[in-house]
Amino acid sequence: MPDLLPIGGTTAGPALCLFRLILGVALLWKIIADHRFGMARFFDLDPKSLLRWRYERDEMAVKLLLSPSAFRVFYTARAVAVGCLLAGILTPLAAGVVAAWCLFEFTFDRKFNTLFLGLMCVPFVFTSGADAYLSLQSLLDSGSPAAFFTPPAPDGELTSWPQVAAVALMCQVYWSSTWYKAASRQFTSGDTLQKTFEQLASVQADLPPGRREYYFPDWFTRRFATADPAVARRWRLPSLATIAVEGALPLLLIFPFTWPLGALLGLAMHAAFTSILPKRLVPFGLASVGTYLLFLPQHTFVTLVGGLT
């Protein structure tokens, strides 16, 4: 990696600035969806919410029992921080607030994608110049839309260590996922995906209108979401393909000549993931695919985006 991504300093290049925007959009999707599903009332006491009742009795949780008022202040602060991250305003502080919220949220709603989004904010806490491209300030300074979208020429070939840290985190996500899935006979047999879709399909009709997180057409349910043993065999090939793609992606993305293939495979894989649970997985998929830009050398990124603009 040092030869492919020479490391130095903390100044954000244009790729990291664009990733800041992508990560901000992913977080914005998440907070809007969470608010629509009632997260603002999660710590209410009168009446006490079911989530708080469970949280208080969970002996395994690392708990931070905020008062309803403190929860709402933190809840509002994280929304403001996401807006600042999108606009490139006080980026290190905004990223720190969002990362702290995601870690707090993980204590009462243990979803890996929430932890992932929080960890992806951490490099921006130590980054300088993340507002140099695609920010509110750069919009005000640009004389035209073309000037706003055109990435600035990189100052040398060095890649900031916060950007390399984000790349390393994404590699770890893919390789650890590959390891656990490959070691699971239940996953490699297709049984995990079959049972997941069977369970989701069985409760689909019971979800209240306007609160449904997913939708499976009847033909899909009949062929891929029933208890028939043949269904698990149909999921075996997609399961093995997922393991192969996740294991190969970091290696494909790190080399510029295989980067297009890796990006295409990653987009297809995350699109398939997102079709299962859109509300939950759109932010994860968007942030994951957004990191692909960070694998590119600075000059390659500028050439790629410059050609599009």
Q: How confident is the model at residue 1 (pLDDT cuts 50, 70, 90)?
A: very low
Give the pLDDT score at 184.
95
- Would 135 be classed as within a structural domain? yes
Give the pLDDT score at 211.
62
Q: Which of 187, 220, 184, 173 is nearest to 201 (CA)?
A: 220
* pLDDT (average), residues 262-279: 91
- Would 143 be classed as within a structural domain? yes
- Would 195 be classed as within a structural domain? no
Q: What is the pTM of this model?
A: 0.91
Per-residue pLDDT at 76 exceeds 70: yes
- Identify which of 133-142, 143-152, 219-228 has the greatest average pLDDT: 133-142
Euclidean distance between CA atoms 171 and 230, whole angstroms: 34
> What dihedral angle (degrees, nearest 10) is formed by the CA atoms of 52, 58, 63, 65?
30
State the chain's mean pLDDT as an integer.
89
- Would 5 be classed as within a structural domain? no
Residue-number span of the structural domain to which 303 is assigned: 14-190+235-308
* pLDDT (average), residues 171-194: 95
* pLDDT (average), residues 238-253: 96
Bridge partner list, 7? 159
pLDDT tens by residue, 159-177: 899 999 999 999 999 999 9
* pLDDT (average), residues 36-61: 84
* pLDDT (average), residues 215-238: 86
Q: How confident is the model at residue 279 (pLDDT cuts 50, 70, 90)?
A: confident
Q: How confident is the model at residue 137 (pLDDT cuts 50, 70, 90)?
A: very high
- Would 272 be classed as within a structural domain? yes
* pLDDT (average), residues 257-267: 96
Per-residue pLDDT at 2 exceeds 50: no
- Would 267 be classed as within a structural domain? yes
* pLDDT (average), residues 233-244: 94
Number of domains into which the chain is organized: 1
- Would 297 be classed as within a structural domain? yes
* pLDDT (average), residues 228-257: 93
DSSP assignment of 55-73 equals: HHH-TTS------HHHHHH
Euclidean distance between CA atoms 256 and 245, whole angstroms: 17
- Would 207 be classed as within a structural domain? no
* pLDDT (average), residues 144-166: 85
> What dihedral angle (degrees, nearest 10) is formed by the CA atoms of 290, 26, 164, 98?
170
pLDDT tens by residue, 92-131: 999 999 999 999 999 988 889 999 999 999 999 999 999 9
